[in-house]
Structure 1
């Protein structure tokens, strides 16, 4: 309530008053309301009314400000406390004045503990000085820094602080934990350092280029090899990949062009007539494109490997290999020829001796003939050993897989040494386990060769006592297999330990001084070891000087189910073989005579032809049951004659006649080659009576079955 006169005295008009104020004259008492307050005026003077009005206005304004401030503070506290980022307020000296829960969680301290600390207290001592200098420099412009801090438990953590001056004496800061990011960055830097070091020190040339084909990196190896050490990296950096002098000189820019389109390349043995360093050479190049995450081409890497030395070495090795192969072929040809030339006369010697032994002789003459036959057979074995060693060295030794009677094969070997046992007085005994199968699949001849060699060695070094041969089954690894352990033990002189290590080396024999007859070339055990290995086994030796030696070896054979009597002991049925009409094709006169006499003793009739061409004429004119065919003959050899018999129309009626190769060719693969040409069987010279008889029986049995 205001007096109208006093209102004008203060220079105010009615429009200046707020709503709800009543203006009255003096001496009048009225009641009115102003925003909920009741005023009573009793003859109020104008001065007092003005003060009351001013006080009312001031109180109302203050109330509104306080209400707004309270609301603002509530909003601020809610926002700060719920913020996931650590927030703090500090004074200019660094003392913390306010922190939110996120800051407490980040540091491990409670709010009360933090408000009693200075920012320096939560920094790592190593970064405290630098951190406070940065804090002192904070102004109205926001600043960001990364500092190393410490949590309540002392754990070091990297914090990123963004701070700004909030008031002249207040600083507002936001803190984020960047420890993991810093660790990742450190790992990335380490990785980049390692890979850069690897690229720089790699033993191959590495060159990087961008999406435009501009070179951005070359390593030290590139500068050393392809620039001859005379060019700095700047020579290459910034140049186009396809414009490099070496690339242009080699004429391969078109081959590298796909690499600039993101296509990998791989070029081998590219000839560079001149590297940047000035020399020529061969290079393997591999181009690897690189792509951005969105798949766009980003550039690539070109890897170059200088293979000049390797190419030169390969050429040298190729030349050496060709020379070695030529020498090996020459050696094989020489051995084959020498074998043929030696076996042919040896066949005549052995054949004549066998004929002589079969004729009426005095006991002294019979002894001489037997010794001569024994020497001839030993010479034959030596020749076979030399050829077997040649097969081993050439990797052409082969193992056959045919069914045979195990007990019969062993019996035949033991029978060979019965005369020696009787002559020397050294007992030969054997034990064959009854659990062994009757029939097996394997190479009976090679198994017999191993046993013959080992038993022969046992008799060679044993003067008194015995030689014992045993065979036992071993557990099989797979179904359908038979593993057999053989033992050949003697009571001879034994082998010194120093000789055991080299026992299986070629041309090596255990040293026995001058007291023993150690005939042989020292090839047998080496060949036996290789044969046993081919038959899926191994060999070992146990020996004590003065006590004897035991050789143990195992082989792996196949298992078959044979009917009783399916295989006959060798030698029995051959004696009942009917007389045959045999066409003997042989160019050597002595061999013709020996073979004719042996066949006639078997009861066969023999017609002779000197070569393949004459044999065809004789066969066309007469009827024959069997052909014994030599291989190397003048005018027409045995292979051509056999092919004619099997395929020519004029021999259609006789195309199935059994043909047995009787030849001095005994190198690796000869037997297989002759059988593949159409022959039915094979016997090598020098021919023994038993071998010839067995070959004829097999050929006739095969023809009867057909």
Structure 2
């Protein structure tokens, strides 16, 4: 220490003693170091502050005690003769403390840097407080600033700097940059407020800032003027800024929600009100005033007790207590109108919860007096005529003015599959009569029954659709008669009869008669008009072909013979069809060779396919047995019919016949499938269901162009089914067709 303190004359020893006392007992940390950082002196306070003995640090570089980030900052710092820094110093146990250190440079007589004296103070607690304050400001989105007007010094918090996206200087007052952040519509007003604050006092204002991304944020600002005590002039301005954008949006949403609730409350056609836990009114709407005849002032404050019909009070009080205990429920009550009349009410009570605690009861009430009186009249009518209603075969139901069910007689309940009690009070159109006969839905309130309720005119309808509770429907004839009371329509009564069976029987009878007539007429024409001349034509043509003929004559005779054979085939189809319908067609069971079967079909149509330029392909897939049991002639007949049709209706492309196993068929596992596909004209989707019907033609134009009786596919279907299989078709108009039929790979018992 003596080398740091120059020798002093005898009369100065007391000052040296005083200096030693200050250095040794100072609470702040005092150090003396060389310009290169070697510690020459450290005060004893280092032991209590950092845990080191002074001797441990003498001769060591003091940079080893600083936080690495602060070392880099100090090494690049240009020292003034006196300077103040904040840095982190390592405690002996390894943790860091924040120090605010004042450094003073001691120079030699010629001005060279000699020693650096440092006085450091532990400001860790202050730094922690500042960090907590900054975090609190960040969470609350509150920034602060301090402007020393006289000295020109300015500082703002991290949150304010972030709020303005770094566009304002944290350590220098820049009003131009500040006002550039403001919305153009707020600048003049805020400038005026700032000028007023510079004259003294407190100012508070909201303004908008525009972010660099174009977003507008709402800021709430406060400014407090600090005056100099001697002159009364403004010494400094202290201020806070808070981003209240989200808060203002929430306030607007809350205000809108409150307005919606108020509208729902005030203008609700039902009576809406609330009670405290003692049963006193705390709010009510105009509908309740109108319903009870009392004004708001007459009802509030006051209990509901005096409004309840005395015999009904215990039950009403019990229902209120349930809601006050947190149980929502509905019930009916009788109350007194101001004029003394009785009102029947339907009441719903709901507990009001605040912080999971019931603080009141919310209620909604509707006047059901007229409805109950009307229902009682209907019930009385129902009781008086119960025997009649139960004994008739027709269904009868009654509806009120709004179309809600009132009564339903037992026969009607059986027809609808509905209990009378479940029918009452429900809109009848939703459950019984919501569609017309064509399936179109009635608009709400537009059915014939509603029309009768509106105008009082009776109506009748035939073959309308009524619905059962299980979702099924039936056809009904019904009559609607209005119910009037004193000239005023109160509802309607509907009497109906289920006519589904009658309609179905009539339609089936008409269909059978038409089909039988068509069949009889067709067979009569074919057998009588065609068979006799056909025999003569074929016989004479055969004789003609045995005579000498020219080439042209022979060609003509061949055409006649071919036409005769076609006609014979038609007659054979008719005979086959007749045998099938009569159950007189016998099937054979014999070994069938698939390859020979398909070859015989190919030979029959090869010439015709070549003439049209159509590829005829026959394929037998893997897994098909070499032989299987069946009626080869009938299988060939089906294939010939399908292939003949395919070639007939195909003008370009191909016809393919495939034989494959069909293990996934639901009938049996040993099934074979025959597929005949073509690239012809195809079949419209809406005509596919007519393919296998007897004497059915898809279109007159197709019949005229290609010919046919409409029996071929019907015979195919019957033959396939007799052989234990089934036939189906898939097609797309203009893109060809696929016919597929399946057969057992062995004869069934019926074939044998």
User: TM-score by structure 2 length?
Assistant: 0.33
Tell me which protein shows more helix as a share of its residues.
Answer: 1
Tell me which protein shows more strand as a share of its residues.
Answer: 2
User: TM-score by structure 1 length?
Assistant: 0.35
